[in-house]
Amino acid sequence: MDDFDLVVLGAGAAGMMGALAAAQRGLRVLLVDPHMDHPNNLAISGGLFPGAGSALQIQAGVTDSPDRWLADLRAFAGDSVNERIAASVAQALPEVVDFLTRGMNAPIHFLPDVVSTGHHQCRFHSTLPASGAALHQCLRQPIQGHELIHLCPRPVTVAPVGTGFEGTDDTSRWRAPHVMLAGGGFGAHPTWVAQHIPAMRGALYNGADYNDGSTIALGLDWGGQLWGMDGFQGQGHTNPGGRTRLGMAIPALGGILVNQLGQRFVREDIGPSALAPWVMAQPGGVALEVFDSHIEAGMTQHSAYQAALQAGQVMRADDVPTLAALAGVDPMGLQATLSAVQDMARGQATDPLGRTQFARSLNAPYLASWVTGALSHTQGGLVTDGDGRLLNAQDLWVRGVWAAGGCAAGLSGRGAEGYLPGNGLAQSFGLAWRMAQALGSPGA
């Protein structure tokens, strides 16, 4: 029988952060993931996470703080904010950035030019270029061969025994006083999606295959409760088929969305998540994202856009009729829309859809790409406190059990609109970090 201090179920954003941070506190960790070599949501993601008040952000001369991020989250998501965890995640994020850069020597940078809906300050961090796959590698690499982290790439069974937990993978047995649930959300569980998020029943899903809710089910079996199950991260900039996406930056740089009639239908700056249902409601469930070469020049560090470009998803044209013909949208409609947008961008007209910032007037040569709405990641899950302790229906700790990432209740809920960009990784890293600090404290 092997003894560990902590068993982590899931080696994604939350699980790897939890394992590394716990090992840094001197704890012996068993990290279990039967799909270790399959892309998880961290690897698929854009890799952008907020760190308001990080040393890197301060060095860049940006005035920000955890409280300002919290204020933005509350302004954006209103009463759907998960107040049980929001403040402690806010405080944790600058420490997470510091841990990754100084503790792990990870090549993480502050990104001074990534603007986003709902964030009143540039506060995203990532690799350069921003990439979930590269961020995944930053965490996976120090885990390989770590003297305090033992990897188990096989399915396990685990059960409470006495005051701790015992488990097996059929080749070995182990025990530990603490278990962290970190198997991701339930986006790959169509029945649960239909039950909890009926608007996304049968929708394109562009997240990881093994986010099937298995660790949510385990937490429920052990006495946990659920919160915010209708919350999700949508993606309204996904290319049809779901293999590539444009990323969230184009509207903030001045891009627009039109339907097959060449008409706008939404203020494009509501955020990539909230856009998804709007795009899905258009004829054919698609929209044409229209921008120009000036905007594209600002996308060199956006790996998602570069992947879409490489995949041949971006059309180019020297004038509007050619673009309309290439895309197969109504040329008169598109011309009228672009003229109207030009007036709005110059301050000569008001947008009937309510958008106030257009960043710039679009000019030839024009670029465009078809997009649809997708479900990327679910945000509802097991209720925890701000350190990731699993809470039962009486709000008492299910002793020894922790949860973070997609299997735990997210930072905010309410459909797609409550998802502030960066919330997914913020909660995954923040709660996992807090868990490790609590576990590493005397008397834990």
Ligand X SMILES: Cc1cc2nc3c(=O)[nH]c(=O)nc-3n(C[C@H](O)[C@H](O)[C@H](O)COP(=O)(O)OP(=O)(O)OC[C@H]3O[C@@H](n4cnc5c(N)ncnc54)[C@H](O)[C@@H]3O)c2cc1C
Binding positions for ligand X, rule: CB under 6 A: 9-15, 32-35, 40-42, 44-49, 182-184, 206-208, 210-211, 214-215, 233, 235, 376-377, 405-406, 422, 424-426, 428
CB of 409 to ligand X, least distance (A): 12
Q: Is 442 helix (H, G, I), strand (E, B) or coil?
A: coil
Minimum CB–partner distance for residue 76 and ligand X (Å): 14
Q: Coil, helix or strand for 311?
A: coil
Residues in the chain: 444
Residue 233 Cβ, how far from ligand X at the closest point, in Å?
6
Q: Which residue is nearest to ligand X (CB)?
A: 12
Tell me the C-alpha distance between 125 and 51, whole Å. Answer: 7
Judged by beta carbon, residue 152 or residue 341, the one nearer ligand X is 152
DSSP string, 219-284: HHHTTB-EE-TT-EEEEEEEPTTSS-B--SHHHHHT-EEE-TTS---S-GGG-HHHHHHHHHTSGG
User: Which residue number, 338 or 426, has a Cβ lying nearer to ligand X?
Assistant: 426
**Could you give the CA distance from residue 301 to residue 337 in angstroms, rounded to a whole number?**
29
Whether 156 contacts 168, CB under 8 Å: yes
Residues 416, 277 contacting (CB under 8 angstroms): yes
Q: Which lies closer to ligand X via its Cβ, residue 369 or residue 428?
A: 428
Ordered DSSP codes for 369-382: EEEEEEEEEE--EE
| Separation CA 408–CA 387 (nearest Å) | 12
Q: Would strands 286-292 and 109-110 be described as parallel, antiparallel, or unpaired?
A: unpaired
Q: Which is nearer to ligand X, 44 or 111 (CB)?
A: 44
CB of 169 to ligand X, least distance (A): 11
Q: Which is nearer to ligand X, 167 or 255 (CB)?
A: 167
If the CB atoms of residues 127 and 215 are measured against ligand X, the closer one turns out to be 215
Shortest Å, Cβ 237 to ligand X: 10
Give the residue with the Cβ less far from ligand X, 134 or 182.
182
Comparing C-alpha atoms, which of 321, 317, 338 is closest to residue 330?
A: 321
Measured from the CB of residue 207, what is the shortest distance to ligand X in angstroms? 4
**Residue with smaller CB distance to ligand X, 56 or 344:** 56
Tokens read off for 211: 């986010």
CB–CB of 406/429 below 8 Å? no
Round to whole Å and give the CA distance between 240 and 356.
29
